[in-house]
Amino acid sequence: MKFFKTNCIKFMVIFALTGFISNIYAVESTQPNIILIVADDLGYSDLGVYGSEIKTPNLNRIAQQGIQLTNYHTGPTCGPTRAMLMTGIDNHRAGLGTNSAALRRLPELRGLPGYEGYLNDRVIPFSKILNEGGYHTFMAGKWDLGKIKGKLPTDQGFDRYFGIADGGGSHFSDARGTFAGQQIAAYFEDGKSVSKLPDDFYSSESYTDRVLSYIDNAPNDDKPFFAYLAYTAPHWPLQVPDEWIEKYKGVYDSGWEEIRKNRFERQKELGIIGPNTNLPPMNRAVKNWDELPPFQKQVELKRIELHAAMVELMDFHIGRLIEYIETNIERETIIIFVSDNGAEGNAIGEVGDNKYWIPAIFDNRLENMGKRDSYVWLGAGWANAMVAPFGIYKSYTTEGGIKTPAIFYSTKNRFINSKKNSVMTVMDIAPTILDIAGLDHPHMKEVDLLPMTGRSALEYLTNKTESVHENNPIGWELYGNRALIKGNFKAMLIWPPEGDGEWQLYNISDDPTESNNLAQSHPSVLQELITDWQGYAEINGVAIIDEDIGYGRYQ
């Protein structure tokens, strides 16, 4: 394993320029309220406005009245994405070079700078900047950026917080964890550990209730608020209240190939993708639906029915929040909705000791799937369909792993309704929010703090520019797999078992589904992007591992 230190001046200049935060937009004299909503493992095509059959009327409406981003990119998994989301800085510099949970099984990464497993002291989350700049700050839901003293949300600029500090857990009051090595999830309220959840706890409802309560009881001092609502839906285990379990029965009986194709055709009709876009083959781990035995089909159908119900239920509760804001709040309120990565398609039952723990502890009989004492996950076939039209799914640097839905909406019509297709990333959210609030990042005054890597997208969102990143390179790495986007091109390296360990090249403007590898026909372009990626890795302290070290891989 090679470890690149941050000593390359040439690329430091490039990426420092990329991180410059523009504050030339003249914000209103009254700072707006800002609400950031994050879904967990929601696939690119899981919302109606992105081609889905799932009912999401509330998110559809704000997309149709605001801005729908069709080329928004995240990190490949939860923790790295959330580190970039909160800081505007590459996850390898912010402390989440890999997921905190992964450090338990990857001793070769432990102790490396940028791989602390929590937000390190070189970065400052934008919540703290907003709080110091006069905002009331509230959060409910998934944190996943540290649960040790000094690293909880209330240590990072939030006035109030209730939620789960881990990467996942049961959606009900039993608070079961997601791995045999972490059987009980860690919940906190205002910095104190929560030992027992209310009996009627259900994640999407309870987190929404808490944010509504925080807003409704905010001090009446004419200060704006920032609310971060971080759902754990539709992250596994797939669970819904009993009355929602049969909500999508029969909808998916045609199988994952057909559902994926239907979404692809609707995306072309909606203008999400171009009419000449190719639909690539499904992931090699996915079996042909018609070849599955009847009992396996029953189980697979129950998985996707639960996933769809979780998404619709999340949308229902988002609708409650939107209705409250539009009915009760006079100040302009900006709502930003994103997912943290693509749908989860890995073999969760094979991770660690899960193959023994799950059957020993949970009741996964067909009739019990989705209830509080069950533990099921989506699987490769449906995850591949949920990220349609893209390839593979969560934890990979393919578009299926790092491209998700994103919506910007203002109650005062700041954003003209449109679909926007220039590349934007999760690192751009923090500088954009600070730009909206009229606040500066303090790195110029506090020299120990890193400047943001992301760029404010406010001028792009308000039609003053045509792109956010122009031709500047943007890099990714997780579990040894790599990618870099520069202008219209994307270079990508995926190790076996899903790839061949060779760099690939795609023109993602003409070929967004990564169907036509240009590595042989455009070798000089590929080499330029590989060189850019090496510079990205050196600047950001990426641990170079020449194999796939991901979780739940299908062999």
469-499 pLDDT per residue, tens: 999 999 999 999 999 999 999 999 999 999 9
Domain assignment present for 44: yes
Helices (H) and strands (E) in the chain, counts: 14, 19
What stretches of 66-109 adopt beta strand conformation (E)?
67-73
What stretches of 42-199 adopt beta strand conformation (E)?
67-73, 136-141, 160-164, 176-179, 182-184, 187-189, 192-194
Predicted confidence band at 1 (pLDDT cuts at 50, 70, 90)? very low
**pLDDT at residue 18 is higher than 90:** no
Q: What is the count of structural domains for the chain? A: 1
39-70 pLDDT per residue, tens: 999 999 999 999 999 999 999 999 999 999 99
What region, left, alpha or beta, does residue 206 occupy, with left being phi > 0 and alpha being psi -120 to 50 degrees? alpha
Predicted confidence band at 426 (pLDDT cuts at 50, 70, 90)? very high
Handedness of CA 175, 343, 553, 285 (dihedral sign): positive
135-177 pLDDT per residue, tens: 999 999 999 999 998 999 999 999 999 999 999 999 999 999 9
**pLDDT at residue 198 is higher than 90:** yes
**Residue 394, CA distances (Å) to 341, 371, 380, 401 in order:** 6, 24, 10, 4
For all residues of the chain together, what is the average pLDDT? 94
The DSSP letter of residue 381 is H
Backbone angles phi, psi at 364, to 5 degrees: -105, 25
Predicted confidence band at 225 (pLDDT cuts at 50, 70, 90)? very high
Cα angle at 499 between 69 and 497, to 5 degrees?
120
| pLDDT at residue 444 in the model | 74
- Token pair 């203008």 is found at 271
**pLDDT at residue 14 is higher than 60:** no
**pLDDT at residue 181 is higher than 90:** no
CATH of the domain at 412: 3.40.720.10
The token pair that represents 9 in the structure block: 């001046």
- Beta pairing partners, 69: 406, 420
Residue 203 one-letter amino acid? S
Domain assignment present for 503: no
Burial of 179 (0-12, 13-18, 19+ CB in 10 A): buried
Domain assignment present for 550: no
503-535 pLDDT per residue, tens: 999 999 999 999 999 999 999 999 999 999 999
435-451 pLDDT per residue, tens: 999 999 998 788 789 99
Domain membership of residue 102 as a residue range:
30-467
CA terminus-to-terminus distance, the chain: 23
**pLDDT at residue 36 is higher than 50:** yes
Domain assignment present for 215: yes
Domain assignment present for 501: no
**Count of CB atoms situated within 10 Å of the CB of 119:** 25
Domain assignment present for 265: yes
Task: Tell me which residue of 388, 392, 249, 225 sits closest to 309, measured CA to CA.
Answer: 249
Domain assignment present for 489: no
| pLDDT at residue 182 in the model | 85
| pLDDT at residue 118 in the model | 97
Question: Is the pTM value of this prediction over 0.85?
Answer: yes
**pLDDT at residue 5 is higher than 90:** no
Domain assignment present for 370: yes
